[in-house]
Amino acid sequence: MTTETATPFDAILAEAQRRWQELTAGDRPWIRIGTGLAGEAAGGFEVVSAVKEALSRQGVAANVSEVGTLGLCFAEPLLDVQAPGGPRIFYQNVTPQTAQLIVSRHVAGGDPVAEHAIGYLGEPTAATNGIPHLDAHPMRVLEQRIALRNAGHIDPSELYQYIANGGYAALHKALTAMTPQETLGEVRTSGLRGRGGAAFPAGVKWGFLAGNPDPNKYILCNCEEGDPGAFNDRGILESDPATVVEGMTIAGYACNANRGYIFIRHGHNQPIDRTRAVIRQAYELGLLGQNILGSDFSFDLEVALTGDSYVSGEETALMEAIEGKRSMPRYRPPFPAQVGVFGKPSNINNVKTLAYVPEIIARGGEWFASIGTPPDRDRGINGSSGTAILCLSGDITYTGLIEVPLGMTLRQVLFDMAGGVPHGKRMKLLQTGGPLGGVLSASDANLDLVLDFDVFRTAGAILGSGGIIVCNEDTCAVDLTRNLIAFCQYESCGKCFPCRMGMSHLLEILERISNLEGTEEDLALMRNIGENMQAGSLCGHGQLGFNPVSSALRYFGDEFEAHIREKRHTGDCPDQVFSPRLTRR
């Protein structure tokens, strides 16, 4: 518990608020440009250069910041202009040419370029005439943002901006008004379940580590994120890494841990750079290191990198990578809470899980538990509290990143928010939860599934990390399944025989079927291989590796039969399928 603060939090907060007031209501406009993953891919950095060049050429003074994603990936690059004390006006699909027009007309001349605007935030003024409110857009109208509360609004590399918007109030509350046991109790009360895929109760998992008396314990954050169709972990770290840093520090306090690692895939440069920037500033402000905010709690944190290894997202393989070894799962027991990284007790959570923690502590566990789905023991439903952060991609009108309350239906997400399938096509199937998840048909029953970890499991799919890939009527379910297994086969670390050989055999069979060379026996053979993988594999990669096949057979068995019996393709499938060379590691 805190006695006196060496660097009083009130002083830090006052400085943060002063800087924020200067940005939003000073004598200069503030221009924010989305340079997260989607913004970068769409040309966001070229827009930044064009804005700065236009400001210099016209002699206009303005603050320019790079921010993360608002989630409207279909509209990137996004640029918004906020005149001192006024609303923010957002422009979509900005090019270097339109950026120069916006600087000339809006920033310099005070005349918004309405024909390029997608919406505004703040109070309406004469400048917003003819421009809709951004929260009225279908992708935002049903959102409830908790982990993504600051995404697209603050400069992710400036810790003071995070603090000015409520950041570190939760850690200050924990250190000054709560014991570690009470802090852990709030997380348990919240019902927060892990957002990395397994959906294990976070408070229970923290309790395993808290009960270990070892004086040196680790908090680990997993941002390997190699799932095709998933980009929410990266989206958080490139938009608001400080919420994860604060969440990890609170976890350290609750579990009596003294060190942490944020594990990020090598090559994810913006999450790496922006996370390191806020960690450095947190040390400077006394929010990390020895005797945080004058308390008797000390916690050190750094970023650890890995190469492109999907399996390193498995928690024990992650620990191997941090230790500088090849990313391969360990045998269990012992479990990480007993013997983890460097042989010390450890706790591992996903980025999204830890990003919720500051708001849970600030608002209380009961508040978070009131959001989501209640338990239904008769149906084997444990309840899923909080929100889901979903990545929407594929054949859908509005692609992007959204945060919605658990309990909403897939239909609401895909049609009310994402606009359905464009060009008059029919929605055929959904691939959810990454390559180890499932293939769902777009039947009425499946579209009416509520977002709940256990409900998805009973439907033969996984909500997982939140990736949803939408496919229209032209998609061949057999070819899609082959592609998923090709990914899983390539990413198998090869340590255990059932996964190493099982994935290779599944891919060989699916290639035969895709090339119209399959036999009736192949379906039974794949089921037999899948059962052996599930029973004998060391980690979830092999244990769940048959999911894409089993779910595809469940919902699209007729397409497999068409390939095998009728020797014909279904959907928009090439006449000859060629896979990457089979790789057995």
pLDDT in tens, 333-358: 999 999 999 999 999 999 999 999 99
Strands annotated E in 114-193:
117-121
Q: For residue 250, is pLDDT > 60? A: yes
Q: For residue 311, is pLDDT > 90? A: no
Structure tokens at 357: 């923690």
Strands annotated E in 96-238:
117-121, 218-223
In sequence order, the β-bridge partners of residue 89 are 81, 120
Strands annotated E in 70-171:
79-82, 88-91, 117-121
In terms of DSSP H, where are the helices of 124-167? 138-141, 159-164
Query: What is the rounded distance in angstroms from the CA atom of residue 470 to the CA atom of residue 394?
Result: 5
579 confidence band (pLDDT: 50, 70, 90): very low
Sheet holding 117-121, edge to edge: 63-67, 30-34, 79-82, 88-91, 117-121
CATH of 374-472, one of 1.10.150.20, 3.30.70.3000, 3.10.20.600, 3.40.50.300: 3.10.20.600
Residue 20 sits at φ, ψ, to 5 deg, of -65, -40
3-state helix, strand, coil in the chain (%, to 5): 45, 15, 40
Instruction: Determine if residue 293 is left, alpha or beta; phi over 0 gives left, psi from -120 to 50 gives alpha, anything else beta.
Output: left
3-state secondary structure of 205: helix
377 confidence band (pLDDT: 50, 70, 90): confident
Neighbour count for residue 83 (Cβ, 10 Å): 20
In sequence order, the β-bridge partners of residue 142 are none
Q: Mean pLDDT, to the nearest integer, of 226-232?
A: 88
Q: Mean pLDDT, to the nearest integer, of 147-163?
A: 98
Q: For residue 91, is pLDDT > 80? A: yes
Q: What is the pLDDT of residue 580?
A: 44
Which residue has tokens 């314990």? 217
The 8 Å CB, 24+ separation contacts for 285-292 are: 285/7, 285/12, 285/159, 286/6, 286/7, 287/12, 287/159, 287/168, 287/171, 287/246, 287/249, 288/245, 288/249, 291/6, 292/171, 292/175, 292/249
Is 93:42 a contact under the CB 8 Å cutoff? yes
Task: Kindly report the length of the chain.
Answer: 585
pLDDT digits (tens, 9 = 90+) for 283-298: 999 999 999 999 999 9
Query: What is the rounded distance in angstroms from the CA atom of residue 251 to the CA atom of residue 229?
Result: 29
Structure tokens at 411: 């239909």
Residue 104 sits at φ, ψ, to 5 deg, of -65, -50
Is 401:235 a contact under the CB 8 Å cutoff? yes
Which residue has tokens 């990137």? 76
Q: For residue 303, is pLDDT > 50? A: yes
Q: For residue 190, is pLDDT > 50? A: yes
Locate the domains of the chain by residue range: 23-135, 167-369, 374-472, 477-564
Q: Which residues, 6 or more positions from 280, have their beta carbon under 8 angstroms from its beta carbon? A: none
Q: What is the pLDDT of residue 7?
A: 53
Structural domain 477-564, CATH architecture: Up-down Bundle (1.20)
430 closest CA partner among 400, 479, 475, 489: 475
Residue 275 sits at φ, ψ, to 5 deg, of -70, -45
Neighbour count for residue 75 (Cβ, 10 Å): 24
- Arithmetic mean of pLDDT over the chain: 93
The CATH number assigned to the domain with range 23-135 reads: 3.40.30.10
573 confidence band (pLDDT: 50, 70, 90): low
Q: Which residues, 6 or more positions from 11, have their beta carbon under 8 angstroms from its beta carbon? A: none
1 confidence band (pLDDT: 50, 70, 90): very low
Instruction: Give the Cα-Cα-Cα angle 89, 91, 93 (nearest 5 degrees).
Output: 165
Peptide bond into 180 cis (omega under 30): no
For the chain, the first-to-last Cα distance in angstroms comes to 51
Is 251:184 a contact under the CB 8 Å cutoff? no
pLDDT digits (tens, 9 = 90+) for 493-547: 999 999 999 999 999 999 999 999 999 999 999 999 999 999 999 999 999 999 9
Q: For residue 4, is pLDDT > 50? A: no
Q: For residue 248, is pLDDT > 70? A: yes
Q: Which residues, 6 or more positions from 177, have their beta carbon under 8 angstroms from its beta carbon? A: none
Q: Which residues, 6 or more positions from 118, have their beta carbon under 8 angstroms from its beta carbon? A: 72, 75, 78, 90, 91, 92, 132, 134, 137
Q: For residue 585, is pLDDT > 80? A: no
pLDDT digits (tens, 9 = 90+) for 115-131: 999 999 999 999 999 99
In sequence order, the β-bridge partners of residue 404 are 388
Instruction: Give the Cα-Cα-Cα angle 305, 234, 90 (nearest 5 degrees).
Output: 145
Q: Which residues, 6 or more positions from 4, have their beta carbon under 8 angstroms from its beta carbon? A: 294
Q: Mean pLDDT, to the nearest integer, of 300-315?
A: 87
Which residue has tokens 């089993």? 550
Q: Mean pLDDT, to the nearest integer, of 302-316?
A: 86
Identity of residue 399: T
Q: Mean pLDDT, to the nearest integer, of 52-70?
A: 97
CA dihedral 38, 44, 46, 48 (to 10 degrees): -160
- The Cα-based distances of 351 to 186, 221, 237, 246, 263 in angstroms read 19, 6, 8, 12, 9
Instruction: Give the Cα-Cα-Cα angle 89, 91, 96 (nearest 5 degrees).
Output: 130
Parallel/antiparallel/unpaired status of strands 30-34 and 79-82: antiparallel
Residue 430 sits at φ, ψ, to 5 deg, of -130, 135
Q: What is the pLDDT of residue 577?
A: 42
Sheet holding 467-472, edge to edge: 400-405, 387-394, 467-472, 427-432, 438-441
In terms of DSSP H, where are the helices of 78-137? 96-102
- The pTM score is 0.94
Q: For residue 307, is pLDDT > 80? A: no
Q: What is the pLDDT of residue 183?
A: 98
Query: What is the rounded distance in angstroms from the CA atom of residue 298 to the CA atom of residue 148?
Result: 27
The CATH number assigned to the domain with range 167-369 reads: 3.40.50.11540
534 closest CA partner among 521, 546, 552: 546
3-state secondary structure of 259: strand
Q: What is the pLDDT of residue 3?
A: 44
Helix (H) or strand (E) holding 187: helix 180-190
Percentage above 70 pLDDT, the chain: 97
Q: For residue 403, is pLDDT > 60? A: yes
